[in-house]
Chains A and B, each alone.
Chain A
Amino acid sequence: MTRKQKRFAVIFSALAVLGGAVALVLTGLSEQVTFFRTPTDIVSTANASENDGRLRLGGLVVMGSVETLDDAAVRFAIEDANHAVTVRYAGILPDLFREGQGIVAEGMLQPDGTFRADTVLAKHDETYMPREVADALKEQGVWKGEAAGDASASSEY
C-alpha cells in the first residue's frame, strides 16, 4: 500500500463509521424521542396522530383520585388548568408522589383516552416540581411560583 492508499483507507473507514452514526442519530431523533404533553394538549388536539407514540404527560395529581386496583396497579388523574386525564400505572409510585403534586407520567395514550404509564417521575425533592410541568403551568397562568422556602437550601445530588 502506498502512503496515499493508507491514508485513504483510514479516511474511508472513518467516514463510513461517521455516516452510519449520523444515520442512527437522525432516525433515532425522529423516532425514539418522547414528547411532552399537558392534559389540555391531549384533550384538545385536532390531530389525533400527535398523540401517537411515547409521550410524557405532566400536570398535577388530582386530589382524591389515587386508588390501588385489585391487580396492584394504581389509577389516578393528572390535571392542568382545563382538563384531566386518567392514568393507569403498574408499579410503585415514587416516594414524593402525592395528590396535588406536579408529576410526569411516561407511556402511551390508549384508544379509550386513558393513559397507560410505565414510568412515573416526581422530583426527588420537596420543594420542586418537574421543570416541564412548572413551565406548562406557568403558560396557563396557574403557576404560583416556587414553594415557600429558601431555594438554595433544597438540594439533591
Chain B
Amino acid sequence: MIDKKDLHYVASLARLKLKEEDEEKVREKFSMVLDYVGMLNELDIEDVEPLINVNGMSNVMREDEIKESMDRETLLANAPEKMYGCIKVSKVIE
C-alpha cells in the first residue's frame, strides 16, 4: 500500500490535488495497480536491455530550412488569457 506521504508527493509532482474524501479510494486503487504490476518482479531480467524504440528506427532528422511559422492570432486563439500578443499567467516569482 502506498503511504499517504508518497501519494501526496506524487500528486504534488504532477500538480494535482486530491480531495480529502477521495484520498482513501485513490490510495486503494493506486496500491492495487502497484501490487499488480509488481508481478514483473518474478522475472530475472538483470541482463536484458530495455527496449526504447519499438520499431527500431534511428537517425530521423530534417534539414535546417526555415518554414513559415503559424500566424500568432491562430496560435493564441485557444489561450485562456492573453495580453500584448503574449500568454498571460499569474505573476512568476523567480
Do A and B originate from a single complex?
no
Q: B: which residues have CB within 8 A of A?
A: none
Q: A: which residues have CB within 8 A of B?
A: none
